[in-house]
A and B are shown apart, each in its own frame.
Chain A
Amino acid sequence: MTLFSIARKNIRQNFTNYFLYFTSMIFNIVIYFTFVTLKYNETFQATSDASPKISSAFSGAAVVLMVFVAIFIWYSNSFFTRKRKKEVGLYSLLGVRKKQIGRMLFYENFIMGILALIIGILLGPVLSKFFVSILMGVMGFEAIGDFSISLAAIVNTIMVFSLITIITSFQGYRLIYRFKLIELFQADKEGEQEPKSSFIMALLSVILVGIGYWLALQNLMESNAWKEMGLMVTPLVILATVILGTYFLFSTLTVYLLKMSRKNKRSYWKGINLIGTSQLLYRIKGNARTLTIIAVLSATTLTAVGTAYSLYYNNRSNVELANPISMMFINKDKNVTNQVRDIFSNNKNHDVIYHKSIPTLQINADVTTLKNNLFSNEMMYTVISVNDFNTLAKVQKRIDKLSLMGNEAAALDAGYYEGMSPNYIGSTISLKVNDRVENITFKSLKKYNVLNYYTASTTLVVSDQLFTQLGKETNSVKMEVYEITNEDEAKQLTKDIQLILPDEARFSSFYADYSAGMESSGLMIFMGGFLGLVFLAATGSIIYFKQLTEANSDKGRYEILHKIGVNKKEVKRSIAKQVLFVFALPLIAGIAHCSVALTALSRLMQTSLVIPVVICMGVYTCIYIVYYFLTVNAYYKIVTK
């Protein structure tokens, strides 16, 4: 029997243990392959206007993935090797040289890596096609028919993963030399000691997390803490306190709480609680580091995907806010305007819901009275009459009506941001007309506009008399406003019109912003989502493997329990509870961290992220639950065999 065949046999026999690790490795490879393919693919890039950006985004994502996979395989391999100390000890005792054992372990890791690579490369082209069609879907593109697999992507994937496999396999080889024979035999015998608990450390963990959360939830503009530490340092402080806090939370607070729960004899001495609690107590401390990594990874993934998804989810409403009208431009040239009108009337795919020519004034105003540091002292505003505002608001189905008298005005600021934008109401600004000024006072503020932001920017509404009066003294400009059906599919129409309009017409369309938003946020979701899935699969498989290792060392205990009359149902219930604890801890911590991060973010972005984030968390939790059940079943099978 050669070392190679022993290695092969070992893999086959340990396959249930390796199964999830193996699957997640294949999954990693497939995703990496997909990213690299997209990086190299020209057809895909030609479809998108922002192709250099996309290409570099995928390169970045591929690098992140590569680093992660390397760490994941490294960690798992050293973990597997350590778990087999006893077996290695036996080989040593039988006179097998360390060099040979090391070679055998090297072969094992190598075979697994290469096998995963082969399967990954075979599955890659098929699955990546599927993934890319998902990407096309979320980015709002039509599917690309001839999506070909580039040789460069295959070569790249093979090179990268072979390298990772070889390096990590060598590590197993090296690890053997650090073991001493006597240690190898005592590895399992070392009586597990009950961990010590400290109230102070437990308290410290809560305080650390608390500080992190508190800092994250501060108002960036007003908080003294942020001012003191600076915008660069504070996020690092938040990260450090939360990660450290999470670690202590898992390593000491849980121990402390479990010990406390033991004091309540009425529940502790009830059925199999005794077993579950004491086993957890022994195990949790050793798992703290893994659980922390998993919690932090979960939080990061959830936050990233949550952000991307909320951008995606809110894309339409954001674009609608900036572009309440399908298409709009300034009438600079009568001929061109007529041409555009013809394009609209000849178009068969879209019906014009309404078309208006809105007379507007472009007026400079002295805004020193608004006392806003972010603005210069002079601003250019588009001014419309209250009558036109009311008509537009009506056709845009807003149940809002303005009535303004004399020098009263209203501001339409779609980009209004509490704390950053000026306090309009009650302020007076001076409009500069010819050589005199006209003072107007803001009576009301609307956080939307009835005109597109790109064409009209912030718009002021004045009374009809004032508008007529001002119109006599300054040039009036007509803005053409078209609302059409299926505005989100108006790709061709937008292109056609864009082509004939000069830049000064400041053409703006719902479609252009909408599709750009879909593209970039769709891309982010796609990358964030798949990176997230890779992280999830990897961390899930780590918990799975750790739990199964524990199951193997718990076998004896469950045998004793079986002998003294614990039935299978009780065993299963106890396992389910115990494993639930291990799975729930990092998930709950991850969700909590992510909620805080996203609360801070949603304050910053001033949008509600609740629905998209809840969807993300739901999906994440569901996958986690699948892992949970797999683990419980495998655990149960091991201890009842």
Chain B
Amino acid sequence: MQTILRAKNVQKVFGTKGNLYKALEDIDLEIKEGEFIGIMGPSGAGKSTLLNILSTIDTPSSGEIMIANQNIVRMNEEQLSDFRRNKLGFIFQDYNLLDTLTVKENILLPLALSKVPANEIEKRVNEIADTFGIREILDKYPYHISGGQKQRTAASRAIVANPSLILADEPTGALDSKSATSLLESLNALNEQNQSTIMMVTHDAYAASFCKRVLFIKDGRTYTEIHKNHQSRQEFFQKILDVLASLGGGH
């Protein structure tokens, strides 16, 4: 299977001389096509920093990052914008929907930005709306729908342009347990049926148990990594809890 993402010796240092803080010490990471990987770790471990760097919103202090065979460290701002638009999909904790656009318009925004013809946009949006079961609310505005619906809208937007990699940042953080489960099941289905590659940063062991692999980081370093393999979700969930317990600290 093809490698989608390869990060090597990624370091990120904040602050100025004399007052340096290493958020990421030395991270190596490889994600293959069709993977569903979770990133976990206590608060301050560097999860968000890593995600920001992988999503090209922030730049690493040193290290190499290849996504879809492109070195994102060497790109200029314009290339990065295009790269994000074409290769990445985002799901954020606070949805990040535009409240002046309808659900449908929010979903089709990445396609519109890439100047896809209107009839093809229509087709894509309807397909995805069916996948996430939000067909009825397509013409509503974000402030009229529930949190779960918002997050499914955000997820639809993330995958509408067929990105190489979907980055999810605490997608269930603001959802009740029912909506959270429903979203995670949708992501799981997406991964299994469409072979979408998903990287999810989360606090929540329950959310992480939907992944195929979970990477733990602590103090800016890789701590350990566990695979689901043939275990049931419950067993995997238990294993994650064990690792978290050994990690210690608040998470």
Residues of A within 8 A of B (CB): 191-192, 194, 265-266, 269-275, 278-279, 281-282, 557, 560-570
Contacts and interface: CB of A to CB of B under 8 A. Distances in A.
Contacts of A557: 98-100
Contacts of B118: 265-266, 269
A563 B57 contact: yes
Judged by DSSP, the binding face of A is helix
Given A191-B143, A269-B108, A272-B113, A563 B84 contact: yes
Interface string B108-133: 11111101011001100000000000
A596 to B, nearest CB: 35
Contacts, number: 84
Contacts of A279: 100
Interface of B: 55, 57, 77-78, 81-86, 88, 90, 92, 96-101, 105, 108-113, 115, 117-118, 121-122, 141, 143, 157
Given A191-B143, A565-B86, A567-B78, A560 B98 contact: yes
B109 A274 contact: yes
17 contacts: A192-B100, A265-B118, A266-B117, A269-B121, A271-B112, A272-B112, A274-B105, A275-B98, A275-B100, A281-B100, A563-B55, A563-B57, A564-B90, A565-B85, A567-B78, A568-B77, A570-B113
Given A191-B99, A271-B112, A278-B100, 16 more contacts: A192-B100, A265-B122, A266-B117, A266-B118, A269-B112, A273-B112, A275-B98, A281-B100, A562-B57, A563-B90, A563-B92, A564-B84, A564-B110, A567-B78, A568-B78, A569-B78
Contacts of B83: 565
Contact of A274 (B55, B85, B112): B112
Contacts of A568: 77-78, 81
B115 A270 contact: yes
Given A564-B84, A568-B77, A270 B90 contact: no
A139 to B, nearest CB: 53
A271 B115 contact: yes
A282 B99 CA distance: 10
Given A194-B141, A270-B112, A274-B109, A567 B81 contact: yes
A414 B118 CA distance: 67
- Most A C-beta atoms less than 10 A away, residue of B82, B83, B109, B157: B109
A278 B81 contact: no
A271 B77 contact: no
Contacts of B55: 563
Contact of B113 (A191, A266, A282, A565): A565
Contacts of B57: 562-563
Nearest to B99: A191
Given A269-B118, A275-B98, A565 B84 contact: yes
A278 B104 CA distance: 13
A48 to B, nearest CB: 58
Contacts of B99: 191-192, 557
Contacts of B105: 274, 278
Nearest to A272: B113
B141 to A, nearest CB: 7
Given A275-B98, A560-B96, A567 B77 contact: yes
Nearest to B98: A557
B84 A278 contact: no
Given A191-B143, A265-B118, A274-B112, A566 B85 contact: yes
B113 A271 contact: yes
Contacts of B143: 191
Contacts of A265: 118, 121-122
Given A194-B141, A271-B113, A560-B96, A278 B77 contact: no
Nearest to B92: A563
Nearest to A565: B85
B246 to A, nearest CB: 34
A275 B118 CA distance: 16
Contacts of B112: 269-274
Contacts of B90: 563-564
Closest 7 CB pairs of A and B: A565-B85, A567-B81, A565-B84, A191-B143, A265-B118, A278-B100, A560-B96
A273 B105 CA distance: 11
A261 to B, nearest CB: 14
B85 A564 contact: yes
Nearest to A283: B100
Nearest to B97: A560
Given A269-B112, A563-B96, A566-B85, A278 B101 contact: yes
Nearest to B109: A274
- Most A C-beta atoms less than 10 A away, residue of B84, B100, B112: B100
